[in-house]
């Protein structure tokens, strides 16, 4: 396989890291998952093709083990939580992410990029190229591996919009604020949920159990009433610096000027292109340098390119005359 001989250390974490590790394992990499102690017997999702090593990384000896492993490993996956989630909503309704991100860009474009990179890497050993068959349908299904594998837990048995992760849970959805903004809530784990309740000014002993699904509709109404009493800025002030997993739903402009993104340099501003996300991921030695030039006109570089590939001017003129090619050089604005 394309990644045969590549070794990967994956520090156990939430979905993105395990999914990435599974993809690498699926294509031949030797992936070792470094799990926490105390989870013996648990079955990890998205762990296909991996081996598990349980180490206490909080102790010096455990950290020393990890360092020795890293010295002989090609890739280390370390799961950090990054930044702020922005969502674009529809007028009058709570925000939903633009769903073309899933098939067009995730299952299609990103999967195709992944295939290309693996093929290029494999070529360094075999000297041969290969065809990358990137289907958006199959790529989206592959991205959805967690959904398929978690069906056995009953996570998707309720009608759409009434399950744990699709807006049914009062602690995993979005709420409208007093000024018409929105806050996104993702307090799944009990310790995060406890901080959510505290920030809302509610008392746990006066609420149903967090996982009482029959009480979720009423709890959502109660949470919505509370969120509607303060502005987005006020809720940000309450939850900033906490682990309650409550964040503002940002507009394009707010996302570009958010303190976290400004500190990271996550967006670039250029005269021709305006504000755009910086290419990701950020490579330490060979980071991407996006072009600052305007987008080309159709046919702007036709002749230039053909000459570079050895076409004579006579051939270019003939192709133009035969309407095989077209040049569209910009005219000067005088």
- Which amino acids are annotated catalytic? 104
CA angle 212, 246, 233 (to 5 degrees): 135
- How far from 51 is each of 20, 48, 77, 178, CA to CA, in Å? 15, 9, 14, 49
Q: What is the largest CA-CA distance in the chain?
A: 85
Distance of CA 314 to the CA centre of its chain: 50
Helix (H) or strand (E) holding 20: helix 16-26
Burial class (CB in 10 A: 0-12, 13-18, 19+), 10: buried
Give CA–CA dist 292/273, Å, rounded: 8
The full DSSP string for 61-98 is HHHHHHHHHHTT-SEEE-----S-------TTS-----
Give CA–CA dist 29/6, Å, rounded: 5
Give CA–CA dist 134/118, Å, rounded: 13
Q: Which residue has the tokens 């967090």?
A: 210
Q: 53-57 long-range contacts, Cβ below 8 Å, gap at least 24? A: 57/11
Give CA–CA dist 51/10, Å, rounded: 10
| Structural Rg of the chain based on CA atoms | 25
Give CA–CA dist 181/262, Å, rounded: 22
């Amino acid at each position: 396989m394309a990644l045969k001989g590549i070794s990967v250390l994956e520090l156990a974490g939430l979905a993105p890291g395990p999914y990435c590790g599974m993809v690498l394992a699926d294509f031949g990499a030797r992936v070792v998952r470094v799990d926490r102690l105390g989870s013996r017997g648990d079955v990890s999702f998205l762990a296909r093709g991996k081996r598990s090593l349980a180490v206490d990384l909080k102790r010096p000896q455990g950290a020393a083990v990890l360092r020795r492993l890293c010295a002989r490993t090609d890739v280390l996956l370390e799961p950090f939580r990054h930044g702020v989630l922005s969502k674009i909503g529809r007028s009058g309704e709570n925000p939903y992410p633009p769903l073309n991100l899933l098939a067009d860009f995730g299952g299609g474009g990103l999967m195709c990029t992944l295939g290309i990179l693996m093929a290029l890497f494999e070529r360094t050993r075999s000297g041969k190229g290969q065809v990358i068959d990137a289907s958006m349908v199959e790529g989206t299904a592959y991205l959805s591996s967690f959904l398929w594998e978690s069906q056995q837990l009953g996570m998707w048995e309720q009608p759409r919009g009434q399950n744990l992760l699709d807006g049914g849970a009062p602690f995993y959805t979005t709420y409208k604020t007093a000024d018409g903004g929105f806050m996104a809530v993702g307090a799944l784990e009990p310790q995060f949920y406890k901080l959510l309740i505290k920030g809302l000014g509610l008392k746990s002993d006066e609420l149903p159990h967090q996982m009482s699904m029959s009480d979720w509709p009423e709890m959502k109404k109660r949470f919505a009433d509370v969120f509607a009493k303060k502005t987005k800025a006020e809720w940000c002030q309450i939850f900033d610096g906490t682990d309650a997993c409550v964040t503002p739903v940002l507009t394009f402009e707010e996302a570009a000027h958010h303190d976290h993104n400004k500190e990271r340099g996550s967006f670039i501003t250029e005269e021709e292109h305006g504000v755009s996300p910086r290419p990701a991921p950020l490579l330490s030695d060979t980071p991407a340098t996006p072009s600052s030039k305007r987008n080309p006109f159709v046919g702007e570089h036709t002749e230039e390119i053909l000459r570079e590939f050895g076409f004579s001017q006579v051939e270019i003129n003939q192709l133009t005359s035969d309407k095989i090619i077209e040049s569209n050089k910009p005219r000067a604005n005088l």
